[in-house]
Amino acid sequence: MPTIVDAAIELGLETVTLAQIARHLGVAQATLYRHVHNRDELMRLAAFQLLLQRRPATGNGEHWAAIAERYAESLFETLVAAPQVVTELHKGRLGPHLEIDILEEFLEAMQGQGFSLEDAAALFHSIGLLAVGAASGAIGLSASTRSGQSWAQAMRATLGERDRRELPLTREIVRRVPEDSLRVDWRRSLRALLAGVAAQRGEALPEIASDFTRAAAR
């Protein structure tokens, strides 16, 4: 089973087929059906493995925000690296299998930081919503660029079709905002979320809580 899932990840989840995996492994396609019923099940297993591989370590006396940020970054990077996981998520095919183990670890870590179970679960799901949305945007930007016209180019072309006196604010923000802003600015939204949680707890959020925000700040 791990070999089949590893092969699917190696070949690329977005377009891989069971026939391709069988050829890659040098086995008959019928052999694969002894382990997975169909491609949908394989996608679920691959998504599960990807997230488990990237799940962040918790504890070590870190500030709770560092743990939360690392979870967010792990989820974001996993989804951007495997867009098919987002597609399966949108189709409602992944179920709870992806999150229950990671949720348990997250809840345990947050309880150790004085969070109630309810507040820890709310933070977990808020981070998930933000990271999935940010990953979807980043995937869309990458797909647009691969198609031959980046998002910024498409926006400029569309604005060029309109009267120059129209949409002045949109024109200005398109001029100001870098094209890869979705890959960066979501972290600012995450920091705002964590700052709000810290304020509710009567705390001040550390300026930089984890390694990935240091990288983003450079």
What does pLDDT average to over the chain? Answer: 83
Q: Give every residue of the chain whose pLDDT is below 70, as ranges.
A: 1-2, 52, 54-60, 93-95, 97-98, 179-184, 208-218
Q: Considering the domain delimited by 58-217, tell me its CATH architecture.
A: Orthogonal Bundle (1.10)
Angle at the Cα of 23 from the Cα atoms of 18 and 27, rounded to 5 degrees: 90
Cα gap 106→67, rounded to integer Å: 8
Cα gap 41→93, rounded to integer Å: 9
User: Contact, 8 vs 16, CB < 8 A?
Assistant: yes
Q: What is the pLDDT of residues 145-190, one digit of tens each?
A: 788 877 778 888 999 999 999 999 999 988 887 766 655 579 999 9
Q: What is the pTM of this model?
A: 0.74
